Amino acid sequence: MKDRSAGEALPKRQAVLVIDDDARNLALLSEYLKGTDLSILVAEDGESGIERARYARPDLILLDVLLPGLDGYATCRCLKADPETAEIPVIFMTALSETEFKVKGFEAGGVDYVTKPFNRGEVLARVGVHLRIAELTKNLREANDLLERRVDERTSELAAANKDLADDIAVRKLAEERLRLLLDEKSELLREIHHRVKNNLQVIASILNLEADSVSDTAVAEIFRRCQGRIASMAIVHEDLYLSPDLASIDFRKYVDDLLAGRDLNTPDSRPILFSNEVAEVCLPIESAVPCGLAINEFVTNAISHAFPEGWAGMRRVTVSMYREAGNYILGIADTGIGLPAGFNPAKMETLGIQLAYTAIGQLNGTITVEPGPGTRFRIVFPERSREKRSAG
């Protein structure tokens, strides 16, 4: 966007569809987005919003929860059920502050939410971040499609050659050599994809860090910094896959080291925190590593910010651990701080980061519990997948 919250990184003429039955909200959001390079589309109810999305294919949808007819949750589920609109990111707009309504929005397929009354800086920050992520996801999908086409073409050529000349030893050796070259080419293409994705994510993380330093509104700056941390954790996954010999899984112990290496491990009173990596020898694919990385990022960030108040005289340590047990992975994030109040349920916290952590682990069919004792310990359990079991055996 042209104001400093988005910069030149946003592609020109991306479209945002706003679905809201309140003309005042439509006018206000249009005013916020007027100084950008975005094309603004509007719809006043869920049914017309779905039709507009199918026809116009916007890059992002701002969707009100309370709508006449189909409410926002039902509208989002319809959008996600249609292959034509399933990939469009949806940001909910709501004045409902209770956690259950926000979780309901994530379960319906939303990627984020903005609260009413609107804050201009927050709206621009969230729209800008999710447009960048959507563009990056689109580029990665196109690169994967290109890779699949190339592999299919060369595999077809090899199959035809083997069928016609299977009895010719010399030709068979040539076919084997071509197959080896094909696999080498596939590996190089995958490395290039991971490298480009990592670079793009790092650029976005750097932009968010610069934006956080440039805004005067501390709440908006914190939004930028939280998003920067999440994107950086995903960039590290792609960097480790780029360096991994098999390109399919990463050394999770090394990933945790890399994830925490760039963190500011100081409490608000500037006293250092000790970091302990107790992850066993575990390799995870990207679809498991990213949710775990997001959860670690959120819980460690909260420990740094809240577990050790000013004047805390005890040990200041944060520990991350992981091991296998009975077909499950057990991930732990623990600190030696003040702990949580009795009966406190972090799943009901209002913060977006904690809700994202619960949603990410839920996608792995996992659970998050808080174990009693000194300090705070989050215990995350999720099952091994079949591919991970084969590689472990």
The closest of 43, 42, 37, 41 to 14, measured between CA atoms, is 37
Can you give the residue ranges of every domain in the chain?
7-118, 128-246, 248-393
Predicted pLDDT of residue 377: 92
Predicted pLDDT of residue 352: 62
Cα separation of 358 and 336, whole Å? 22
Which tokens belong to 318?
């944060």
Predicted pLDDT of residue 241: 65
Which tokens belong to 177?
């050599």
CATH architecture for segment(s) 248-393 = 2-Layer Sandwich (3.30)
Predicted pLDDT of residue 4: 42
Q: Which residues touch 123 (CB under 8 Å, ≥6 apart)?
A: 29, 32, 114
Predicted pLDDT of residue 158: 73
Predicted pLDDT of residue 2: 43
Predicted pLDDT of residue 161: 66
Task: State the residue for tokens 């792609």.
Answer: 238
Q: How many angstroms from the chain centroid is the CA of residue 75? A: 23
pTM exceeds 0.75 for this model: no
Predicted pLDDT of residue 262: 62
Cα separation of 389 and 328, whole Å? 10
Predicted pLDDT of residue 293: 84
Question: CATH code for 7-118?
Answer: 3.40.50.2300
Predicted pLDDT of residue 1: 45
Predicted pLDDT of residue 8: 41
The closest of 248, 304, 256, 303 to 279, measured between CA atoms, is 256
In which residue ranges of the chain is pLDDT below 70?
1-12, 161-172, 187, 190, 194-195, 198, 205, 233-234, 237-238, 240-242, 244, 246-248, 262-270, 347, 349-352, 386-393
Predicted pLDDT of residue 71: 92
Residue 84 sits at the vertex; the CA angle it makes with 37 and 124, to the nearest 5 degrees, is 30
Cα separation of 29 and 67, whole Å? 17
The closest of 245, 243, 288, 279 to 387, measured between CA atoms, is 288
- State the burial class of residue 351 (Cβ atoms within 10 Å of its Cβ: 0-12, 13-18, 19+): middle
